[in-house]
């Protein structure tokens, strides 16, 4: 009779959440009718920043701002809020992008002429990451935030998604 041992470390949880947050952002772009090319070209920098700041527990929210490139006005916004309730137990690792797909069906496809940017909020004292610089968020006046719940989970380290729609 053999013994099986399973070890889930915080590093595994960070990797799972980072990879699946990026997959969720790609799915949001694709399901919304936007070209994920910019995401693909920025993937290394995005991955490095998100992973570094999740590991150090400085990352609070990853923001996808969708805007009209002619006016710079916000068209839509998606937030992925990171929760640090890591418990170290052999918990579940899962991702549910169907919630995102359903929310986009409700919110509607975005104009193909729209552009987008990725921004984050972090706690003070975060480590610097090459390729990232300070940014200002576009106004969400006239929008209402809708939560769709947790879409990425790794033993308490998780990402909860919300989106902004016109009020």
pLDDT in tens, the chain (167 residues): 444 444 458 888 999 999 999 999 999 999 999 999 999 999 999 999 999 999 999 999 999 999 999 999 999 999 999 999 877 666 688 899 899 999 988 877 788 899 999 999 999 999 999 999 999 999 999 999 999 999 999 988 999 999 999 88
What does the alpha-carbon distance between residue 74 and residue 34 come to, in Å, rounded to a whole number? 15
pLDDT value at residue 6: 42
pTM above 0.85, yes or no: yes
pLDDT value at residue 108: 77
CATH at residue 23: 3.30.900.10
Q: For the chain, what is the domain count? A: 1
pLDDT value at residue 107: 79
What does the alpha-carbon distance between residue 78 and residue 13 come to, in Å, rounded to a whole number? 22
Residue 4 lies in a domain: no
Cβ atoms within 10 Å, residue 118? 20
What does the alpha-carbon distance between residue 163 and residue 104 come to, in Å, rounded to a whole number? 9
pLDDT value at residue 4: 43
pLDDT value at residue 87: 76
The boundaries of the domain holding residue 146 are 10-132+139-166
Residue 93 lies in a domain: yes
Residue 154 lies in a domain: yes
Report the b/e string of 76-91 with b at 16+ CB within 10 A.
bbbbbbbeeebeeeee
Residue 5 lies in a domain: no
pLDDT value at residue 8: 56
Cβ atoms within 10 Å, residue 155? 20
Residue 46 lies in a domain: yes
pLDDT value at residue 88: 67
Residue 51 lies in a domain: yes
Nearest to 24, CA basis, from 149, 139, 136, 114: 149
Residue 122 lies in a domain: yes
């Amino acid at each position: 009779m053999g013994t099986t041992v399973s070890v889930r470390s915080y590093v595994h949880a960070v990797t799972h959440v980072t990879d699946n947050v990026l997959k969720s952002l790609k799915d949001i772009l694709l399901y919304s009718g936007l070209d994920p090319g910019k995401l693909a070209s920025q993937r290394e920098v995005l991955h490095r920043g998100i992973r570094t700041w999740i590991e150090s527990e400085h990352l609070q929210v990853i923001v996808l701002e969708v805007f009209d490139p002619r006016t710079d006005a916000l068209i839509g916004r998606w937030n992925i809020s990171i929760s640090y309730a890591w418990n170290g137990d052999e918990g579940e690792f899962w991702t549910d992008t169907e919630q995102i797909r359903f929310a986009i069906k409700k919110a509607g496809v975005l104009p193909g002429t729209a552009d987008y940017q990725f921004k984050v909020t972090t706690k003070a004292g975060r480590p610097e990451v090459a390729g990232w610089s300070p940014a200002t968020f576009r106004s969400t006046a006239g929008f209402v935030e809708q939560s769709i719940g947790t879409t990425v989970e790794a033993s308490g380290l998780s990402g909860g998604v919300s989106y902004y729609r016109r009020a």
